[in-house]
Structure 1
């Protein structure tokens, strides 16, 4: 399964949990989602801009997005942490990518990704940006409001 599909499944699960009031998005979750979304947008821009960059810069931007997710994960717990952990897991193959030739030396297990793999990873980050924007816009449900059938 490619990164975009894994992130799409994560997004669908988050949206469903929020809709079903299983995930009661707290103000701290909304603030962290907003900060994380902003960080991801700063790291990975629109397709036309990203695709015009040299591969080494594209890889740097993808690694920055992983750093944003990891820092956010370190600052939370519960469902938001689980969601961010899933996002990091979806993008983990980026950690094994390199943009430079080996020039006869070892590569520590890294690989040269294809142009399609860069596009997939950047698309996955953009989908994460969108779902985090949605999470940051969720309004909390007052604790005295019923959340299920009566």
Structure 2
């Protein structure tokens, strides 16, 4: 996840620097909304780590909604960026924190603390990128 999101961020930053993508007012407004939603869902690392794993997973899933919803509201480069970010973050949707009764979990797996940390860090990076696009 980290590698993909960092690559997306680098590409978006390069395109803006090279003037091959100049975000529109609509792009900026939606990027600001998505950045705010991500910041609200996933807080600072020390706050997230203090939570129980099920709370962290809930926050991660809520954060995944922000780029998905934003993708539905825009077209062009920002939509492509958000869609690619959502795809990169999709492994989070397969994580579970409750026991699988009778062994059936629809393919869901338990994530490690390191995986939670990585996903949260990646979402913070995405939030930072979107905040920069918004300005």
TM-score range, shorter chain: over 0.9
What residue in structure 2 maps to residue 18 of structure 1?
16
How far 1:26 sits from its partner (Å)?
Answer: 0.2
Q: Which runs of 4+ in 1 moved over 4 A?
A: none
Name which of structure 1's ranges 3-12 and 97-106 shifts more when overlaid on structure 2. Answer: 97-106
Partners of 1:40 and 1:32 in 2: CA distance: 12
Helix, strand or coil at the partner of 2:74: coil
Matched, 1:50 2:48: yes
Question: Residue 70 of structure 1: CA displacement?
Answer: 0.8
Name the residue aligned to 2:101: 103
RMSD after superposition: 0.7
Query: 2:120 corresponds to which residue?
Result: 122
- CA separation in 1, counterparts of 2:119 and 2:70? 19
| Partners of 2:84 and 2:36 in 1: CA distance | 19
CA distance in 2, matches of 1:112, 1:127: 24
**Whole-angstrom distance in 1 between the partners of 2:84 and 2:101:** 35
| Counterpart-to-counterpart distance in 1, 2:72 and 2:97 | 28
SS in 2 for 1:72: helix
Structure 2 CA distance for aligned equivalents of residues 14 and 103 of structure 1: 44
Query: Aligned pairs, how many?
Result: 135
**TM-score of the two chains, using structure 1 as the length reference:** 0.88
- Name stretches of at least 5 consecutive residues in structure 1 with no aligned partner: 138-150
Shift of 1:103: 3.4
- Choose from 75, 84, 87 the match for 1:86: 84
Q: If you compute each CA radius of gyration, which structure gives the higher value, 1 or 2?
A: 1
Runs (5+) with no aligned partner, structure 2: none
